[in-house]
Amino acid sequence: MSTEIRRKLLDEVARILAEEGPAALTVRHVSQAAGTSTMAVYTHFGSMPGLVRETMREGFARFAERLMAVEAAQDDDPVAGLARLCAVYQEFARAEPDVYAVMLGGSRLAGFEFTDEDRVMGLDVLRIPHAAIQRCMAAGRFRDGRSSLLAWQLWCQMHGLAQLEAAGYFVGRHGAAETLTGLLRDFAVAAGDRPEAAERSVSAAL
């Protein structure tokens, strides 16, 4: 199977789930939408749950690739680096909403349930912002402490923001971009950064 057909199959799974619901997710429907045969699905993915699982895993791989590109370009401002990671999180959720929904919102559709291996793959992405938070601590910007808890708290905030934006709730005075800036500034201050330093770093990153 070519890389193009594989990508098309995975994208169609996510699109059909988002637009038509789990009842529409059949091997025939997915294969026709992707322009390939039902045999290709069974040969390479084994079953529809297997195809959904691969869609989720592919999504996390794409997401990690974007985060690692930011990670590779770190400078001497760790708080700005953390803010850039969070901006990329939101960009990914906007750019690939259907895949994002499978990764973090549609895991039990079409007979699919997470395995421990799936969870490990998802949680492995968390190590990137976790490392960024540890750099903030090492630089004296954040208080030393429970970096893993901070990473979880930040993930919850980023996911909530992405979900609210996808649902179209940012229609009032404050938009998603302004909300992201405020979240990151306040997160940094709560973690121990000085307000003026947090404002400067987040503004520079975003």
Give the model's pLDDT for residue 110.
53
- Burial (CB < 10 A; 0-12, 13-18, 19+), residue 187, is buried
Q: What is the pLDDT of residues 31-61, one digit of tens each?
A: 888 888 888 788 877 777 777 888 888 888 8
51-55, 68-72, 171-175, range with the lowest pLDDT: 51-55
* DSSP symbols for the chain: --HHHHHHHHHHHHHHHHHH-GGG--HHHHHHHHTS-HHHHHHHHSSHHHHHHHHHHHHHHHHHHHHHHHHTT--S-HHHHHHHHHHHHHHHHHHSHHHHHHHHT-TTGGG----HHHHHHHHHHTHHHHHHHHHHHHTTSS-SS-HHHHHHHHHHHHHHHHHHHHTT---SSS-HHHHHHHHHHHHHHHTT--HHHHHHHHHHH-
CA distance 109 to 28: 17
Give the model's pLDDT for residue 106.
52
Which residues contact residue 47 at a Cβ distance below 8 angstroms, ignoring those fewer than 6 apart? none
Mean pLDDT for all residues in the chain: 87
Q: What is the pLDDT of residues 98-125, one digit of tens each?
A: 888 888 765 455 556 777 877 787 788 8
Check residues 75 and 156 and name the one with the higher pLDDT. 156
Q: What is the pTM of this model?
A: 0.84
Residue 1 confidence class, pLDDT cut points 50, 70, 90: low
